[in-house]
């Protein structure tokens, strides 16, 4: 176990009707607020009006950056930086899902430097400071509301790059489960996969020294498996939405890795980012297709014990069974959960991802020569094989066309 | 599920050799530091010298409050307040276990008011502000290093009272598992019980709405059950000490209750505080004796499902057994863990607690007329019965005299 620093100061207002605190929390940082949001959904739902009223009540001055797209783009970030600089913005309020919050984070960072915000990604320019960020979350998935990272796409270069730095962590987040009642069946399913993937990327690790955090990871996974189907069937089930929302924050806020070696070296996310960089598909859908193949590919004698732990503690498979049988069954159960219970497409073919793009995606996923260093190190040729496995149905018996 | 605010900004340096950060962290708050510690153990171990050297290196001015006793007393707090006021202290550094940290917290609070610090306890005077608190933990038990409360005794009035308020939460804590290598077998055992009790007080709750937090509570309990025996056998097992230490912080830092109703209404702690107020016994020992009796007393049809969850998920009891059988077996397994595996005394008789003091203790435990409102509300007559159960061995077959 390596040493680590735990530092997650985000304050969270959890529950309904907490927006009465919004004005005070924003006001701690100044008077001039940049409100960042996506399409018109927060206007339709009435949330926009409510938020603006709260801010006006507290005498705050409001500026706006709207139209943040899913897989948010660097041009939105640049536009936001310009607004912040011209209007001497004190604090950002992001209202939306992970895309909106991620965009706001890099606007907040870009506003504190003199160079172009894409330099953070293309030239690894350090993020030392940001404007303070407050969020109101409307989708349980990315964990951006409590973490110190984000992902931005650049359509010109067909790149999608994730970055983390402590100043990016929101100061305050409002998590109201009722705001996710209107999230579609499909987006709820993709969000559930994203949450699970954040946990699994850390959990599939051969360093067993922080058993406590393994137990917590298993508990979070069981939570998503229990409540995602309930939220699909009954979108306004408060308990289901609340558990999914709080699990999404804890899946990725930095608590789970602890000091476990390689816990920050991920596999499926780098492989997936290349899909959505080129095809603009939903992140959680790409993860759902990739994850079971990646598991199958990584399962061997060196990783077996972790798969057994996963199968018995998360899916309740009988621990008396043969270890390899438990491991394979766990992959099958996860696939069934993604493709049957959540109803997501199960192959690249179905979502239109073409083989001709594999070489570029493979190369970028492992950063050129450098391998993806997760539970099992993956070189470019390994990633190629995993992408190829994604073409065909994984379990022909249950994945109907 | 009620709404809740999550706000746990304590920064933690976890692991060995992190004290190089101490000077910088203290320096953020000022130059004049009050070093608070207990007996001479930190001098014998060399920790005192190391800490003082780090502070001197950073040009800090050091003042001292030593001799903090287990079950820390209000006179130490008063002495500390005097030192802070006379020397215009900027920040407190508590080096020790929960007692030392608790004392430092109320010194930090008392230094910001004009009245006597006991008024916080006797007159519920509000704690609106404290001097900043930094801690170096040497015992995994109370969770004081990351929580917003503490307990102080007043030998004059034979009272021991716990209090919480957000400003009491430490700003920074250093958690080095190797500093707990020298903790005795007995104190390690008592610490393990204290950690488990903090979790169980919240977990034994009929509000099942935050399943995610139930899973996490179960994971923390399994962690203590796994590692406490290892730490008893091999006091310098890093993995065991690290898991116990991190579990102690998360058992009580305020994360586990979430918005579950009555999660802040505890049972065993109020009953135990009255024992140690009068007899000055180790808190964890008192909890070990009380907890299985309290469980037995509370087990009925209305609470059964929670006991079943506890037995199957924490102790791995076969879920196919009869529910009442699972529940009773879980209490037996917990008792065996406390009295056999950890080797703690199992009756009031053995630790010298006398029946003649029951009436006073009962009355105070429930605050006069007000009941203890945990998983099952307890009135004074219920507490009397639980105290009486503590006189005799709980399981005559395994609790040898």
Residue B401 has pLDDT above 50, yes or no: no
> Does residue B1 sit within a domain?
no
The ipTM is 0.95
The CATH number covering residue A260 comes to 1.20.1090.10
In tens, the pLDDT along A291-327 reads 999 999 999 999 999 999 999 999 999 999 999 999 9
Domain end point (choices A179, A209, A241): A179
A32 — pLDDT class (breaks 50, 70, 90):
very high
Residue of A100, A247, A111, A249 lying closest to A167 (CA atoms)? A111
Q: What is the pTM (predicted TM-score) of this model?
A: 0.96
Residue A375 has pLDDT above 90, yes or no: no
Cα atoms found within 13 Å of the Cα of residue B27, Cβ hemisphere only: 12
Q: How many CB atoms lie within 10 A of CB B43?
A: 12
> Does residue B215 sit within a domain?
yes
Cβ-defined contact of A11 to B6 (cutoff 8 Å): yes
Whether residue A364 sits in one domain with residue A220: yes
Torsion from C-alpha of A205, A206, A208, A212, nearest 10 degrees:
10
Domain end point (choices B133, B148, B179): B179
Q: What is the pLDDT of residue B396?
A: 64
> Does residue B2 sit within a domain?
no
- How many domains in chain B? 2
Whether residue B149 sits in one domain with residue B80: yes
Contact residues on chain B for A238, CB-CB shorter than 8 A: 1
Whether residue B167 sits in one domain with residue B22: yes
Cα atoms found within 13 Å of the Cα of residue B128, Cβ hemisphere only: 5
Return d(Cα A63, Cα A91) in angstroms, integer.
10
Whether residue B169 sits in one domain with residue B73: yes
Cα atoms found within 13 Å of the Cα of residue B53, Cβ hemisphere only: 8
CB-based contact, B210 to chain A, within 8 Å: yes
Q: What is the pLDDT of residue B208?
A: 86
Whether residue B282 sits in one domain with residue B163: no
> Does residue A399 sit within a domain?
no
Residue B199 has pLDDT above 70, yes or no: yes
CB-based contact, B174 to chain A, within 8 Å: no
The CATH number covering residue B140 comes to 3.40.50.1970
* Candidate from B2, B214, B246 with C-beta closest to A212: B246
> Does residue A262 sit within a domain?
yes
> Does residue B243 sit within a domain?
yes
> Does residue A298 sit within a domain?
yes
Tallying the residues shown for chain A, one arrives at 401
Q: From residue B379, give the alpha-carbon distance in Å to each of B271, B304, B366.
A: 11, 20, 7
Cβ-defined contact of B218 to A215 (cutoff 8 Å): yes
Q: Which two tokens stand for residue B148?
A: 């917003």
Whether residue B235 sits in one domain with residue B122: no
Domain end point (choices B163, B179, B195): B179
Whether residue B275 sits in one domain with residue B170: no
Residue B399 has pLDDT above 50, yes or no: no
* Candidate from A16, A17, A246 with C-beta closest to B212: A246
What would the mean pLDDT of B205-209 be, rounded to a whole number? 86
CB-based contact, B320 to chain A, within 8 Å: no
Identify how many contiguous H helices and E strands chain A contains and give both numbers.
Answer: 16, 11
In tens, the pLDDT along B213-252 reads 999 999 999 999 999 999 999 999 999 999 999 999 999 9
Return d(Cα A86, Cα B220) in angstroms, integer.
50
Whether residue A166 sits in one domain with residue A275: no
| Domain housing B294 | 186-389
Lowest-confidence region among A130-144, A166-180, B151-165? B151-165
In tens, the pLDDT along B256-281 reads 999 888 777 889 998 998 898 888 78
Residue A176 has pLDDT above 60, yes or no: yes
A126 — pLDDT class (breaks 50, 70, 90):
very high
Lowest-confidence region among A25-39, A276-290, B171-185? A276-290
Cβ-defined contact of A5 to B12 (cutoff 8 Å): yes
Whether residue A258 sits in one domain with residue A123: no
What would the mean pLDDT of A168-172 be, rounded to a whole number? 98
Contact residues on chain B for A257, CB-CB shorter than 8 A: none
Cβ-defined contact of A219 to B216 (cutoff 8 Å): yes
Beta partners for A172? A11, A134
Whether residue A340 sits in one domain with residue A197: yes
Contacts of B382 (CB under 8 A, 6+ apart): B297, B371
Whether residue A248 sits in one domain with residue A129: no
Tallying the residues shown for chain B, one arrives at 401
3-state DSSP call for residue B37?
strand
Whether residue A122 sits in one domain with residue A101: yes
Chain B: residue nearest A258 by CA? B14
CB-based contact, A18 to chain B, within 8 Å: yes
What would the mean pLDDT of B348-355 be, rounded to a whole number? 94
Contacts of A53 (CB under 8 A, 6+ apart): none
> Does residue B103 sit within a domain?
yes
Backbone angles phi, psi at A141, to 5 degrees: -165, -70
Q: What is the pLDDT of residue A364?
A: 85
Q: What is the pLDDT of residue B370?
A: 67
């Amino acid at each position: 176990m390596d040493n680590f620093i735990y530092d997650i100061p985000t304050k969270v207002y959890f529950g309904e009707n907490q927006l009465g605190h919004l004005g005070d929390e924003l006001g701690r940082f100044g008077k001039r607020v940049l409100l960042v949001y996506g399409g018109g959904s927060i206007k339709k739902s009435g949330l926009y009006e409510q938020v603006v009223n709260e801010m006006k009540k507290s005498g705050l001055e409001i500026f706006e950056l709207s139209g943040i797209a899913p897989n948010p783009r660097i041009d939105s970030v640049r536009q936001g930086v310009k607004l912040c600089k011209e209007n001497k913005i004190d604090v950002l309020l992001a209202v939306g899902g992970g895309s909106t919050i991620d965009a706001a984070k890099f606007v907040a960072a870009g506003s504190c430097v003199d160079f172009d915000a894409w330099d953070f990604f293309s030239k690894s320019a350090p993020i030392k400071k940001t404007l303070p960020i407050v969020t109101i979350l409307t989708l349980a998935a990315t964990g951006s509301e409590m973490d110190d990272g984000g992902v931005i796409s650049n359509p010109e270069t067909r790149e999608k790059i994730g970055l983390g730095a402590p100043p990016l962590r929101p100061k305050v987040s409002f998590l109201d489960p009722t705001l996710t009642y209107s999230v579609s069946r499909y987006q709820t399913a993709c969000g559930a996969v994203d949450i699970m993937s954040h946990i699994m990327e850390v959990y599939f690790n051969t360093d067993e020294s922080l058993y406590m955090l393994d137990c917590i990871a298993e508990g979070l996974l069981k939570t998503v498996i229990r409540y995602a189907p309930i939220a699909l069937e009954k979108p306004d089930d408060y308990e289901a939405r609340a558990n999914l929302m709080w699990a999404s924050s804890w899946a990725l806020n930095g608590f789970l890795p602890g000091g476990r070696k390689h816990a920050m070296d991920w596999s499926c996310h780098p492989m997936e980012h290349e899909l959505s960089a080129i095809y603009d598909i939903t992140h959680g859908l790409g993860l759902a297709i990739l994850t079971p193949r990646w598991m199958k590919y990584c399962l061997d004698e060196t990783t077996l014990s972790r798969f057994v732990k996963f199968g018995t503690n998360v899916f309740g498979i009988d621990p008396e069974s043969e270890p390899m049988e438990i491991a394979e069954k766990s992959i099958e159960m996860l696939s069934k959960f993604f493709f049957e219970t959540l109803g997501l497409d199960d192959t690249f073919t179905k979502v239109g991802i073409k083989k001709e793009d594999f070489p570029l995606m493979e190369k970028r996923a492992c950063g050129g020569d450098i391998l993806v260093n997760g539970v099992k190190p993956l070189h470019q040729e390994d990633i190629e094989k995993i992408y190829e496995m994604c073409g065909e149905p994984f379990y022909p018996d249950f994945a109907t066309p």
